[in-house]
Structure 1
Amino acid sequence: MALVAETVAEAAPGFYLIESVHGFVVHMNASAEHLRLVRELIGKRLMAAGVGTGTAEAAQLVTSELSGNAVRAYGDLVPLVIEVDVTELGVWVKVHDPDPGRLPHRRSVRMDDAAAESGRGLPLVDAFAPGWDVAVTPVGKQVRARVPLEGRNRG
């Protein structure tokens, strides 16, 4: 069985894909391989939906940053739900983790500070998906970000 599931019936251990008309939802245990597969899925699905390369790459970056933050906070194999959905307003990326207590927040980090070893992830998310937010849910929290479509206002 291929690790990339094309349908729910082909789900692999720790990686459960549900496709929809405008995107997909993946329930997974975070691992380097699963995160790579999600980035590939984003590229393929967004290009197939006619989304521009720049928007697709921005959505991949935002997803990588948000899921990477969860892995850094909770460790490898943390259960995540990643949703990617194309709308007329842009590409929605939603990353759900099981901890409602540790909420990400915006910090002022200079992107050109060579001495800073971390802290650039959320400023990158701000750059590509301004206005991202966090919602506490009954089973954790969801970080939601909208990447505007190329050629449209970022506001």
Structure 2
Amino acid sequence: MASGPPALSASEPGLYLLHHDCGFVAYLVAAQARLSLVRHLTEEILAACGVPADTAAAAQLVLSELVGNAVRACGDDVPVVVEVYASGTQAVVSVHDPLPDLLPEPSESAMDSDMAESGRGLHLLGLLCTDITVSPSPIGKQIRCVLGPG
């Protein structure tokens, strides 16, 4: 039986973490080392809160795709806010970025097509997530993904 979520501490410059019930909020300047830490916390915290291992692993992938999209759209070292939490056996991953008008657009090419260089991640999100919403947020826009059985 899970003993509860692990303690959080910010040990990386450019990353500020806040714990909340079965999850966390990370304010970060996007960079590989910080993203790796947030990915690790995602799996660890979701598992500790009873989310199935396959859903926690999928949440890590979704997190990487959403932050990667923000970096591609806004440039290196973009400030983003990441929210991850468990809701029963589901995982919720939200990423806020500073460009409210730049919305994700899926590619018209198939996922296995060599022609499509971008937009395939949205197909992946559609396969992994039971719900995806894009909405304005105080810092730009928020993309929120729900994963796992309801």
Tell me if TM exceeds 0.5. yes
Which residue does 1:16 correspond to in 2?
16
Task: Give the SS at the match of 1:101.
Answer: coil
TM-score w.r.t. length of structure 1: 0.85
Structure 1 residue 107: Cα displacement? 4.0
C-alpha distance in 2, partners of 1:88/1:56? 12
Shift of the 22–109 alpha-carbon distance from structure 1 to 2, 3 Å rule, reads farther
CA contact (8 A) 2:43 2:57 kept: yes
Structure 1 residue 43: Cα displacement? 1.1
* Structure 2: stretches of 5+ with no match in the other structure: 1-6
C-alpha distance in 2, partners of 1:143/1:56? 18
Structure 1 residue 17: Cα displacement? 0.3
Whether 1:6 and 2:3 are equivalent positions in the alignment is: no
C-alpha distance in 2, partners of 1:137/1:116? 29
Task: Give the SS at the match of 2:86.
Answer: strand
CA contact (8 A) 2:85 2:92 kept: yes
Q: CA RMSD in A?
A: 1.8
Shift of the 53–89 alpha-carbon distance from structure 1 to 2, 3 Å rule, reads closer
Which residue does 1:134 correspond to in 2?
134
Trace 1:55-74 onto structure 2 (pairs within 5 A): 55-74=55-74
- Paired-residue identity, %: 45
Which residue does 1:104 correspond to in 2?
104
Task: Give the SS at the match of 1:131.
Answer: strand
Task: Give the SS at the match of 1:105.
Answer: coil
Structure 1 residue 117: Cα displacement? 2.6
Structure 1 residue 137: Cα displacement? 2.0
C-alpha distance in 2, partners of 1:108/1:22? 37
Structure 1 residue 89: Cα displacement? 6.2
Any runs of at least 4 consecutive aligned residues in structure 1 with deviations exceeding 6 A, and if so which? none
Task: Give the SS at the match of 1:69.
Answer: helix
Which residue does 1:34 correspond to in 2?
34
CA contact (8 A) 2:96 2:142 kept: yes
CA contact (8 A) 2:107 2:118 kept: no
CA contact (8 A) 1:11 1:17 kept: no
TM-score w.r.t. length of structure 2: 0.87
